[in-house]
A and B are shown apart, each in its own frame.
Chain A
Amino acid sequence: DQQVKQNSPSLSVQEGRISILNCDYTNSMFDYFLWYKKYPAEGPTFLISISSIKDKNEDGRFTVFLNKSAKHLSLHIVPSQPGDSAVYFCAASADSRGSTLGRLYFGRGTQLTVWP
């Protein structure tokens, strides 16, 4: 049973516009959320994260929003660039303090294509 869901397998955006990637989760015990970016033939790389005590975290062009009541988070990329074209994975953890095993639960990913 998928605890982290990315319902859009793909997203196409023009360069310079905003990209919004969405993620839903079902487990109310999740208290830390992450976004990873993956290029073909490479491992996923950490992009940005957010703790459940916050509703927004910003890092340059990337902003993650968390709506706990709706169990929904989104990643905004502004402005989008062709180099942002990749698969984006949403992930969640119920172990933000890192006291035990630090398991991550991943969504199925969204392929973002940014065209010129």
Chain B
Amino acid sequence: DAGITQSPRHKVTETGTPVTLRCHQTENHRYMYWYRQDPGHGLRLIHYSYGVKDTDKGEVSDGYSVSRSKTEDFLLTLESATSSQTSVYFCAIGLAYEQYFGPGTRLTVT
């Protein structure tokens, strides 16, 4: 195991509420990523980080923000959750040829 935990593992929330997902790593790795997985779409990159306070957008970043104040933590925030953000969210650490994924967070927006 690569020492990646995600919390919460499951969450149900209502449309319009803010939601924050947490990714925590014990590997002291510089690079961290947030993906979402949806049927028929595979894994799509939301945001990534290449160091503390250094983040950038991925291919599906609208409606999401991230923060990284410590090496070990990478937070994903849905400012105002919508039903289209119902998905399974995966955090990953590493480089392109060696990314390790967390167990995922299943988020349902009702």
Contacts and interface: CB of A to CB of B under 8 A. Distances in A.
Nearest to A9: B40
Contacts of A42: 103-104
Interface of B: 4, 31, 35, 40-45, 48, 50, 56, 58, 90, 92, 94-104
Contacts of B95: 95, 98, 102
Contacts of B48: 101, 103
Nearest to B97: A32
A48 B6 CA distance: 25
A96 to B, nearest CB: 6
Given A42-B103, A43-B103, A102-B99, 6 more contacts: A41-B103, A43-B101, A46-B100, A93-B97, A100-B50, A101-B50
Contacts of B50: 100-101
A106 to B, nearest CB: 4
A41 B104 CA distance: 8
| Central interface residue in B4, B31, B43, B45, by most chain A CB within 10 Å | B43
Majority SS at the chain B contact face: strand
B31 A102 contact: yes
11 contacts: A4-B42, A32-B96, A41-B103, A42-B104, A43-B103, A44-B101, A46-B98, A100-B50, A104-B45, A106-B42, A109-B42
Size band of the interface chain A makes with B: 20 to 34
Interface of A: 4, 6, 32, 34, 36, 41-46, 49, 89, 91, 93, 95-96, 98, 100-104, 106-109
A71 to B, nearest CB: 18
